[in-house]
Amino acid sequence: MDGPAPSRDLYVQMALSYLPHLTHLVDRNPYSPTYGCFDREYWHYRTLDFPCGMSQEFVLPFALLYKNAYPGNLYQGWDRLREVAEAGIRFAVTGSHRDGTCDDYFPWEQAMGALVFSTYACTEAYQILGFQDDRLVEFFRKRGDHLALHNETGRLTNHQAFAALAAYNIYQVTGDDKYRRVAEDRTALALSWQHPEEGWFQEYEGADPGYHTCTIAFLAKLYEKNHDESLLKPLLKAVEFAWHFMHPDGSYGGEYGSRNTYHFYPHGFEVLAPHSVKAGQIADQFLRGAARGKRYHNDDDRMCCHLVYDWLQAYEAYHPVRPEPINARPDFSVWMPDAGLAVVKTPAYYAVANLRKGGVFKAFTAEHCIASDTGLIGETDDGQVVVSHLMDEQHEVEADTRRRVYRVEGALSRRQRKLSSPVKVIVFRMVNLTISRFFPNLVRSLVQKLLITGKNRTRWRFKRTLEFGSDRIRVRDRFFEAVPFKRLSAGSDATSIYVANSNVYQESVLRCPWTHAPEALVSEIRTKGGVWDREIRPGSAGAK
């Protein structure tokens, strides 16, 4: 998949295709008490009892399309877009708590992620449209003051980078230097969570190449504003890491990341393209892939906006000097021990595996994904589902980099699958209105442990061996003792932790089927353990 990349206009074409969707999400009636609310479940369906504060970031595409003469942008200068953007900023005020905080997934969550995403978008739109409004400025100050005094639980570097960007925007709107210092503090925190050698940013329990591009984008946006040259070195280090996860077919990321995401934000790479050949290669490969249907889609009502304004900003930052195609890179093999990531390029395929995540891997050619194995998943006699694909610090990893053979041994864990019910909702709302109201981070940390970072390990152990040959990949899964499986599979897109931006569409999730263990092998494992051997060869029936 070489040749020239598509025109930069593709960024705008993709963004414009989402405007009808964004428009139907917002309450456009000036006589409505929820005028400007972008949470359709709250104002229209009325199935939620609070508005999602994150949704107010949707104001930014309206401001950008109103203001700028993008190719094919027939909406430029339409007053209705300006009105919708202004109404959305004002609803961010009325939809927030008195201290300026807002909720995302439950009442009184006071979620920092929702706060910084929507604050950046609202302050950016405020500046683009040239608003002058003391009430809005006071609201932005409240949010900046909250960021100065409070933080969130968990190590989510993309949130800290966005907090820095939002605080800097508040500084630009108010001129108050204390918010610039908040931005500096959050920038320092985000950079302190970058691996000094491998370049990745921490996302809960490890490296997630998808969210990694978010952090690059947010810090690059900040760099465009403050021109702080000290940001370049860590950003270029981050680009070096990301370069390994842009696949030869133009897709990016996947379940081998700590948070299972396919995220790809191109704006940061366009900003950095004048400083890095690899940044330009990554951006070009994304455009090539997007033109061929390879990009991921995260198009539900809550998440569909994140990329729209990033695409428009990528168009604006487009660097006219483009490098040679990324697929011209020579064959290589890279092992990142702290991330647990192995990347192998041979003449036949391109593969990425995460050994710290139980040996999940994906493999590609220039045409498409030929293999996706997201680890072992099986059902036992008691109806429990056990998996091997959790990030687990107790996994024992061995790497023979010369022979390109990698092994991981660990315990199978029970898959947590918590669903709601009327009784659970009532109890949780009581918690929201009492404990959450005063101790939001306590509730957040408990939810994180329950749905994301907690482990329910079993006594059953597995060992996976991956051998990356020049023209094939060999997989061996060993069970050391009898495991009472009723069925056993290697999933192609299985996940077990809660991540809002996972389980989306990319071509591989439909192209690559699950692999199910033969009944005879399952019977053998039930009685004494056993070994499950498989082989992936590009061009073979199982790799189509």
Examine the pLDDT at 54 and tell me if it is beyond 80.
yes
User: Could you state, in order of their start, the residue ranges of all structural domains in the chain?
Assistant: 9-328, 332-416+454-543
Question: Would you say domain 9-328 falls under CATH 3.40.1440.10?
Answer: no
User: Torsion angle of alpha carbons 476, 481, 487, 489, nearest 10°?
Assistant: -20
At residue 12 the predicted structure's pLDDT band, cuts being 50, 70 and 90, is: very high
> What integer is the mean pLDDT of 510-514?
96
Q: How far apart are CA 474 and CA 468, in angstroms?
A: 7
Average pLDDT of 482-500?
A: 94
* Alpha helices, H only, 193-293: 209-226, 232-242, 267-272, 277-291
CB 481 within 8 A of CB 430: no
pLDDT of 486 above 60: yes
Average pLDDT over residues 140-163: 95
Q: What is the pLDDT of residue 429?
A: 85
d(CA 391, CA 261) in angstroms, rounded, equals 14
For the stretch 84-120, pLDDT in tens is: 999 999 999 999 999 999 999 989 999 999 999 999 9
Percent composition of the chain: helix, strand, coil (DSSP 3-state, to 5): 45, 15, 40
Contact 21, 304 (CB under 8 A): yes
Residue type, 292: R
CA dist list (Å): 288 to 282, 347, 448:
10, 21, 37
Q: Comparing C-alpha atoms, which of 59, 341, 13, 85 is closest to residue 195?
A: 341
Q: What is the pLDDT of residues 30-53, one digit of tens each?
A: 999 999 999 999 999 999 999 999
pLDDT band at residue 154, thresholds of 50, 70 and 90?
Answer: confident
Model confidence, pTM: 0.95
Residue 541 has a pLDDT of: 43
Q: What is the pLDDT of residue 133?
A: 98
Q: Degrees (nearest 5) of the Cα angle 237, 239, 242?
A: 120
User: Do residues 488 and 516 lie in contact, with contact meaning Cβ atoms separated by under 8 Å?
Assistant: yes
Q: Does residue 169 come out as left (phi exceeding 0), alpha (psi in the -120 to 50 range) or beta?
A: alpha
